[in-house]
Structure 1
Amino acid sequence: MSHDTLPPARSMVGVRLALFTETYAPQVNGVARTLERLVQALRERGGEVLVFTTTDRDADAGAGVVRYRGRPFWAYPQLQLAWPSSRDVITRLQAFRPTIIHAATEFGVGLAGRRAARRLGVPFVSSYHTSFTAYAAHYGLGALAAPGWAFLRWFHNGGLRTYCPTRAIVQEVEAHGFERCAVWSRGVDTTRFSPRFRSSAFRANAGASDDMIVAAYVGRLAPEKGVSVALDAVRLAMEARPDRFRLVVVGDGPSDHEARAAAPRGSTFTGRLEGQALGEAYASSDVLLFPSTTDTFGNVILEAMASGTPVIGADVGPTRETLLPGRGWVAPADAPEAFAERLIALADDRIALRTMREEALAHAGTRSWRAVWEALFADYLTLQAAAASSRAERDPVLAT
């Protein structure tokens, strides 16, 4: 079905969403971008949204956003935590009159949303975006994993639904006792990410000739992202096939200095890119390396595939679900030798590389944000209707 023959987008007039999250635009990460898209999509369909989040030094005041002063989380300083007063949250919600409350994080702001929903009798849903128990292991806090799961189970089971980005994550959290889970997948904007943004100038700046393989890493430079695996893999590939590879690293983060020092000779670090510059980086590369084992969904995987760039990812559930079959390769996690073998195979077999590009591009074309929002918003409406019916049964006056 072409975009011209798609049915009209579902109307969300009358839906009033209160969204609670510790991370939101202008922060640049997968969760913040997804939530910003959620707000935009709901408003475009006639709904109203009020966002509760933390302060950000780059944030404007902004209509429809309530910000509370945050402090760095001691275990993960890049995450700002805030603890809104219940009185302030309740007062704002009573004025806004939400029909559904959605908590996207489980800390102070998310807890405030959960608590307010119960007090006001508003349908409450949550979404599971970040594997904090996996992060804990990377930061030497493995002892927190067991109590962490107990807390997360309590938090999410207090709602009518827990949205997870992949079926693999649904299965993981259900194994830890989560209930009423559903998949809220992710899409990709093929107008922003496309092979047409391939740039010979970008490749030249990276020191890559036409017959070289440009391997890209795009994302945060942090221990839990497996950046060292990508660096070591390209180094091993360069040793096996001299003058055949270049590495481009896009992003910033706490491991920036260490990554630059450890990168193979000739690597290019662009820092954080956005807009057309990011699209050019994807499309001008020949393969994306995605070694993370902690992501619940790799948005960069879809962005790369929409750019015609196949992916070599860590062999974990969420990545397998997005890549297989035939759209990319997986390699054992924390095994740079395996990533290097995949890189060398692509350099030696350009027909296989071209086939993977075609498969990746075709798959990305099926992952529209439109379909993602239709599914999520249909569930919002179902839960709202069920809650309204339940209230009417408890108080017949509401049914008249």
Structure 2
Amino acid sequence: MKIAIFSDTYAPEVNGVARTLQKLSGYLQEKQITHKIYVPENRGQTIEYSGVERLTSFPFLLYPECRMALPNFSSLNQSLNDFSPDLIHIATPFNVGLYGHYFGKKHRIPMVASYHTHFDDYLDYYHLSLLKHWFWRYMEWFHRPFEKVYVPSVSTRDKLYKKNIHSNIGIWGRGVNHQFFSPANRSAEMKKRYGIKEKYILLYVGRVSVEKDVQTVLNTFKSLPPSLYDDTHLIVAGDGPLLSQLQAAEPEKTTFTGFLKGERLAEVYASSDVFIFPSSTETFGNVVLEALSSGLPVIGADKGAVPHLIDHGSTGFLCPPKHTQSFVKHTETILRNEEYRKQMGYKAREFALTQSWDDIFSGLMGGYEEVLKKKKVLTPA
């Protein structure tokens, strides 16, 4: 099996799609499955990744740090002809994906798609709601020729069914590195590094942007009862367009770490007490699973894919989106009851241990093989 994968993001970029595809590439290499990944170039990149072909690109309007490809079609066509894929997997509906879409249809190559981002929800946050109708018209057209469409969660599948995007939608979930994201990484050194003297630490990890609703995290922290607020510190770990603005406006008891990775990120997760994630636009929520694996109770928005990861009252709590009072109530409940917090953290870790990357990728490979067999049966000799 030779697989050509098209995406608008890949390592070293840090987001759920890029990390998932990098994990997938590692799995394919381990299983000696030939593959090639076509993605926009990453300016300033110093690491070369095996099997990745970079395409000329320019910054995306809404996300300048993300890039849109401007491929040389002659060169890309030659590369694909030389590679001669058996299967095409398209992970973006935009221009890199459009070329894979065109090539697959032209050469009658079996194709699958994976849907990763609720761009329609993003349009609301950026005051472009009038474009939603046309967005879904386009998505319906784009996904029509695929044999199967993969989504990360049940809620995302249900949404696409309602939009009549495709009749064959499968779940391709996400896993977590249990050894890396572990309670064993808890360290007193983390507090010293950031000058934190308070007893409790609230944590948010993710993009610092309007569609992630980071303001609800800040409002929750500032609205804690005075006695609890005095004993609590907030860490916001991540980068994004709102970072400099929020850094300038927030109080001393908030630490903005910027982008973290590797051992520093694992240590911050394990050394915190509660994870707050108010985003209601998630198709999965990788950081939620990382927090659970680190033994953290999670308080999240009861919308999108996050509710599939949180067992309300057992591994965390779910709150109405943007409802600060609910986030405050549950944060107070967890912080004031040490035994309850420990039980939640233990159950969170137990759940995360059931989410294995190997099982998830094995299921995806089974889906690939089914598509190839079906296409072979239906294609006239």
TM-score category (smaller protein) = over 0.9
- Provide the identity percentage: 34
Counterparts of 1:242 and 1:75, CA distance in 2: 35
Q: Which runs of 5+ in 1 are unaligned?
A: 1-14, 396-400
How big is each residue's C-alpha offset from its partner over 1:14-65, in whole Å with a ceiling of 9 and x where there is no partner?
A: x111010110111111110001111111121110111111010233454422
Query: Quick check: 1:206–1:246 contact (8 Å CA) kept in 2?
Result: no
Deviations 1:63-99 (CA, angstroms, capped at 9, x unpaired) = 4221111112223323211132443332211111111
Distance in structure 2 (CA, Å) of the matches to 1:16 and 1:204 = 50
Q: 2:300 aligns with which of 304, 313, 318?
A: 313
1:245 CA displacement: 1.0
Shift, 1:269, TM fit:
1.4
User: Does 2:105 align with 1:125?
Assistant: no
**Equivalent residue, structure 2, for 1:4:** none
Once the 2 structures are TM-superposed, how far is the Cα of residue 319 of structure 1 from its aligned partner? 0.7
Mark the runs of 5 or more structure 2 residues left unpaired by the alignment: none
Asked whether 1:361 is paired with 2:338, we answer no
Match of 1:374 among 339, 351, 362: 362
The correspondence for 1:58, drawn from 33, 38, 44, is: 44
In structure 2, C-alpha distance between the alignment counterparts of 1:290 and 1:90, rounded to whole Å: 42
Instruction: Work out the CA distance in 1 between the residues paired with 2:206 and 2:264.
Output: 14
- What is the rounded CA distance, in whole Å, between the counterparts of 2:237 and 2:285 in structure 1? 15
Q: CA deviation at 1:124?
A: 0.6
1:86-105 maps to which residues of 2 (within 5 A)? 86-105=73-92
Deviations 1:316-350 (A, max 9, x none): 13111111252211111112222111111112222
Map 1:251-400; keep pairs closer than 5 Å: 251-325=238-312, 326-391=314-379, 394-395=380-381
Give the C-alpha shift of residue 169 in structure 1: 0.5
- For the residues of structure 2 that align with 1:85 and 1:164, how far apart are their CA atoms? 30
Contact 1:208 1:245 in 2 (8 A): no
The separation in 2 between residues aligned to 1:168 and 1:269, in whole angstroms, is 32
TM-score (norm 1): 0.91
With 239-248 and 150-159 compared, the bigger mean Cα shift is at 239-248
The CA RMSD over aligned residues, in Å, is: 1.5
CA distance in 2, matches of 1:386, 1:193: 39
Asked whether the equivalents of residues 42 and 48 of structure 1 are also in contact (C-alpha less than 8 Å), the reply is yes
Secondary structure at the counterpart of residue 289 of structure 1: strand
Q: Provide the C-alpha distance between the structure 1 equivalents of 2:208 and 2:36, rounded to a whole number of angstroms.
A: 32
Aligned-residue offset at 1:137? 0.8
CA distance in 2, matches of 1:235, 1:330: 19
1:157 has 2:144 as partner:
yes
1:48 aligns with 2:34: yes
Amino acid at match of 2:80: L
Q: Distance in 1 between matches of 2:50 and 2:283?
A: 30
- Equivalenced residues, count: 378
Kept in 2: contact 1:206–1:248 (CA 8 A):
no
Superposition TM-score, scaled by structure 2 size: 0.95
